Structure 1
Amino acid sequence: MPARTLFAPYARLFAVPGTRAFSSAGLLARVPMATAGLGTVLLVEGQSGSYALAGAVAGTNTLAFAVGSPQWARLMDRRGQGPVVRATALLSLAGGLAFVAAVVTDAPRWSWFALAVLAGVCSANVGSVVRSRWANALPEPAQRQTAFAFESVADEVVFVVGPPLVTFLAALVAPPLGYLTGLLVGVAGALVLSRLESTAPAVVPRVAGQARAAVLSPGLVVIAVTYLAVGVVFGAVDVVVVGFAEEQGSPATAGVALSAYAGGSLVAGLVYGIATLPGSLVTRFLGTALLFAVAAQALHLVDSLPVLIGIAFLAGLTIAPVLVSGLSVVESRVARASLTEGLTWTTTGLTVGVTAGSSLAGAAVDHWGAEAAFAVPALGAALTGLLAVVAWAVLRRPVGAGVPA
């Protein structure tokens, strides 16, 4: 089948007015998602010499983001995306600049943590903003699966480009430059996105006296908890790969390995978005989570940089499917008036997991060495599989009087 025909579903997405603009702006706005954690690790480790401290500071920033982003998303659903996205962009810029200044001037260590919290809590989840716009623009579930897969590919594009760029700038120019480049690109993209009001979901007026529908349903919670374990893998991989590359005498190769991991996900996301898959949304979520759990066990075999790059690509092939399938379940169950918040709560689980994973992996690298520390992401992936089984048992129950999704 010709490539043009094969990827026609993606072309049809961008035939919808306004989609190119908000998706392109969203691509730039999410760059800090791929650069902030690694940039923080490289910046703090370069200043302090401690991976444990670097992982703890990066994890603190991510945890603050996990706490703040659902609150911003709720405000977007109530007040509109544009003003909130604009405000968070400017606030995160101020917080990020202050954080870098504290580290490079060797301010007291407590201030590093405090300003990492400020930078994280002021940031919005741009991926959820863009996905809610796709859900608003597309009427068919199959179209939304394709759009969500495309956005996962966009996520991976920044993870392919971002880590090598951050590593190069931090290792060969100056440690703060990697973090700052990602921050400035992200702020610019968010400011452009905030101006694209015509494609933002309409704010649903609240009726006086009417109770607000609960967003955190049991189904959403179990997906968020499963994503927490996925996040452990992501956070741990970032730290362990950097430590392993440095142990092998080639620190710049860390970016290549992380790009291979993201590249596998990019390929899988493109395929998943156009595939016609059997089973329900819930069954697909379980299947993709189990594949993710099994594939990551190959990290136990890493003993050299070439092996790491190959295994990273193969394990990465399972990332996009598990993320797209879980978000598709959430999108099918959350009311449109609260969709940005619902999607953000789901990815909040992911970011909390990144916090735990980066902290655990940093300590593991310092105490065991980086090669042995690959056990941390491998165990996180195994936990993902176990939690997905629990999630499947909860999600397959009928929703109200309806049929399981």
Structure 2
Amino acid sequence: MSPRTVLTPYTDLFTVPGTRAFSSAGLLARVPMSTAGLGSVLLVQGESGSYALAGAVAGTLSLCFAVGSPQWARAMDRVGQGPVLRLTAVLSLVIGLAFVAAVVTDAPHWTWFALAALAGLTAANVGSVVRSRWANALARPEQRQTAFAFESVADEVVFVVAPPAVTFLAALIAPPLGFLTGMLIGVVGALVLSRQESTAPPVARRVAGEPRVRTRVLTPGLVAIGITYLAVGTVFGAMDVVVVGFAEHEGRPAAAGVALSAYAAGSLVAGLAYGIARLPGSLATRFLAATVLFAVAAQALLLVGSLPALVVIAFVAGLAIAPVLVSGMSVVESRVPRASLTEGLTWTSTGLTVGLTAGSALAGTAVDEWGAETAFVVPALGAAAAGLLAVAAWLVLRRTPVPAGAPAEAEVGAGEVAA
């Protein structure tokens, strides 16, 4: 099979009018997702000399993003993506500049936390925005699976390329530059994306005089997936901390970037493969299988004893990441009414964000108390918990009817076996 034939499902995505434009703009707009936390750590630590303070400020930003982004997504579903994206972009620019100014001028520390909280609360989850556009643009279920896989790969590209670039700017030029660069790229991308109204999901029209009907988004099934994703997020957050700690313990701190890139590369490869695979079984069953595989693969981290072994094991464990993310998003897309799809996808990502913050904190404590090599137990246990929670989520999904207004699973699942 030629490379052209293998990649045809991906190239076909971009023959649909508008998809190339909104996907490219979305790639830029999501850069702050990978740079805001790291950039704030580098900024605060560079100006104050305190890692503890830097971690606390970055954690505040991340948690407030987890709280605020679903509210912006709900507003997008009600009034349209364009106006909300423009508003959040302007707010992010103003508050981000104020945050940097407060840190650089050594304003009282409470202002740092307040502005970091506002920066998180005013940020939109662009990954969910773009995924909802793909769902709106593509009619065939197998195309949507491929598109969601492509977005997972795009996430990995951003998380591989942007953090090292931000670190380089902050370390070699000036601490504020990393945070500012990521923020400005995101603002430009969001503004460009906001102008592309033709590919935005349509907004449900209200009839004059009728009250607005509140669509129930947080169904038991969506909550179950979000909780599972929280456990998955702890693995991601813990890996960042433990890998850095292990590399420093081995006397080669720069190798941490290689290991984390191998972890992301494994996910990238698996994402490309999953996007063109036509798998049997229901969407919920695929999600269960992918998460259990993720749980099993992560246990290999307990075998890490050297940096070469870490790189190999990280790549292998990374192969299980993208299938979990793509299959979970596909389940959500099949069970959330189209009028609330952006919000539903964002709530799912919120679980990852909260888990990532918790995983970083737990892993930091473990590295200090047990040492970096033993601390690999944190991501291993987080993955095991995700596997168990996926079983519970699968049981909930089997017992929960599809809400009115959501596409039937048989319409969404490529290769679905007819009941």
Structure-1-length-normalised TM-score? 0.94
Q: Which residue of 2 aligns with 1:75?
A: 75
Q: Indicate whether 1:263 and 2:291 are aligned.
A: no
Which amino acid counterpart does residue 121 of structure 1 have in structure 2?
A: L
Matches within 5 A, 1:133-282: 133-207=133-207, 208-209=210-211, 211-282=213-284
CA contact (8 A) 1:58 1:355 kept: no
Give the aligned partner of residue 414 of structure 2: none
1:2-401 maps to which residues of 2 (within 5 A)? 2-207=2-207, 208-209=210-211, 211-399=213-401
Percent of aligned positions that are identical: 77
Relative to structure 1, is the Cα distance of residues 311 and 46 closer, same or farther in structure 2, using a 3 angstrom cutoff? farther
- Contact between 1:148 and 1:273, CA under 8 Å: does it hold in 2? yes
Deviations 1:47-78 (A, max 9, x none): 45554443333222111001000000000011
Decide whether the 8 Å contact of 2:291 with 2:386 is kept in 1. yes
Q: Which string of whole-angstrom CA distances, capped at 9 and with x for unpartnered residues, describes residues 288-308 of structure 1?
A: 101111122222233333333
Q: How many residues align?
A: 405
For the structure 1 residues 404 and 191, does the alpha-carbon distance in structure 2 shift closer, same or farther, using more than 3 Å as the test?
Answer: closer
5+ residue gaps, structure 2, are 411-419
**C-alpha displacement at 1:118, in angstroms?**
1.1
Task: Write the deviation string for residues 156-181 of structure 1: whole angstroms up to 9, x where unpaired.
Answer: 11011122222333333333332222
CA change 1:268–1:239 in 2 (3 A) is same
CA distance in 2, matches of 1:82, 1:404: 29
Distance 2:19 2:409 in 1: 31
Distance 2:49 2:353 in 1: 25
- Hey, what's the Cα distance between the residues in 2 that align with 1:401 and 1:217? 8
Amino acid paired to 1:4 = R
Q: RMSD of aligned C-alpha atoms?
A: 2.1
Q: Distance in 2 between matches of 1:244 and 1:62?
A: 24
Distance 1:114 1:192 in 2: 29
1:77–1:340 Cα contact (<8 Å) kept: yes
Structure 2: distance between partners of 1:153 and 1:109: 38
Q: Which moved more, 1:259-268 or 1:125-134?
A: 259-268
Q: SS in structure 1 opposite 2:269?
A: helix
Provide, for residues 208-247 of structure 1, a one-character-per-residue CA deviation record: whole Å limited to 9, x for no partner.
1363221111111100110111111112222333333344
2:416 is matched with: none
Contact map agreement 2:220 2:400 (CA 8 A) in 1: no
TM-score, reference length from structure 2: 0.91
